[in-house]
Structure 1
């Protein structure tokens, strides 16, 4: 898993540097526009640091790209995703690992992602956004907090809610939790 994460970080850094150089932007200009420091951007480009989802979104915006551009995606949209082709990725601000269950295509309305949460994973940041979400717990357990009320979900349980409701999740168990997350609008 470590080698795969290093390869992902290297590919991400190369994509960022390549696009920045094609746009003839300096590290300083890009970092300022992205709301991050120049040394941090340099470390990301050299695969010595992994950006959080928020930092990556800022970098993408500064370079006029979508987050999808920086995530390793299939070259073509296909209706079938093969398990042997699934690659997991993560973000610096989360120990969770994410694997696409749908191929990325600009005309799709929703995303489906397999989420692996380590045992004891602390509650995620409380968030709200437009759209709706559906969770299906495959194994383990999570605590889902919706507008201040916490629901303990076990394997086989589901939840479906509007994303405008303040929400967060945590793995409260002593084993990894695996769940399917489906949401609109698309993440990337």
Structure 2
């Protein structure tokens, strides 16, 4: 997890980075030092030292801190990589399903820890309305070009380029391309479709 002991500067940099991530997450969650330390099974002064980069947590302490803040240890030690965080437009590959004429391009990387997914959807002109579905989560649509008809619990809305929609997926919903041309939209949803 930490660099070899002979490289003290790298170890100090890693310790400070972990401390900053812990403090930032704790503040975002509006948790006190005392509550977090108690839940992690460590002392408040030690947690304060860790957050300021003045002490390196043991693996056991880091696991406790991660549990107390509701994340995995990887949240604190992993560094963002291009493969895990970035999708290049020139590498976008489209796929389809047997029962649909739509094409789908994944805009997010596969990861078990992520809660949302973004998909670029190309809907051909004259496409039949999708079946009415419901499931747990939320959905967000952004129409880039063309026009779609979005039906939410029996009420239909026509969305044109630049329009968005955000709704609970538990509401019965369906979409159809109502333009005389291909419609392109971005779908973002939870939970992930795949």
How far the C-alpha of 1:122 sits from its partner, in A, is 1.1
Matched-pair contact (CA < 8 Å) for 1:109–1:186: yes
Instruction: Give the deviation of 1:144 after TM superposition.
Output: 0.1
- 1:78, 1:120 → 2: CA distance? 37
| Aligned equivalents of 2:131, 2:138: Cα separation in 1 | 17
**Count, aligned residues:** 113
Name the Cα RMSD after superposition.
1.0
Instruction: Indicate the residue corresponding to 1:128 in structure 2.
Output: 134
Larger-Rg structure: 2
1:115 is displaced (CA, Å) by 0.1
- Please report how far the alpha carbon of residue 155 of structure 1 lies from its aligned counterpart in structure 2 after TM superposition: 0.1
Aligned counterpart for 1:161 among listed residues 164, 167, 190: 167
Gaps of 5+ in 2: 1-81
1:116 corresponds to which residue? Answer: 122
Q: Which residue of 1 aligns with 2:92?
A: 86
Which residue matches 2:153? Answer: 147
Measured after TM superposition, the shift of residue 77 of structure 1 is: 4.8
Secondary structure of the 2:85 match is coil
CA deviations 1:33-78 (Å, max 9, x no partner) are: xxxxxxxxxxxxxxxxxxxxxxxxxxxxxxxxxxxxxxxxxxx951
**Match of residue 173 from structure 1:** 179
Q: How far apart, CA to CA, are the structure 2 residues paired with 1:131 and 1:100?
A: 18
Distance 2:156 2:126 in 1: 16
Partners in 2 of 1:158 and 1:120 — Cα distance? 21
2:110 pairs with 1:104: yes
String of CA shifts for 1:3-34, please: whole Å, max 9, x gaps.
Answer: xxxxxxxxxxxxxxxxxxxxxxxxxxxxxxxx
Which ranges in structure 1 are unaligned for 5 or more consecutive residues? Answer: 1-75
Inter-partner Cα distance in structure 2 for 1:143 and 1:77:
35
SS at structure 1 position matched to 2:136: coil
- Check whether the contact 1:141–1:172 (CA below 8 A) recurs between aligned residues: yes
Name the CA distance, whole Å, in 1 between partners of 2:160 and 2:184: 10
Tell me the TM-score normalised to structure 1 length: 0.59
Matched residue, 1:41: none
Question: Counterpart of 1:94 in 2: which secondary structure?
Answer: coil
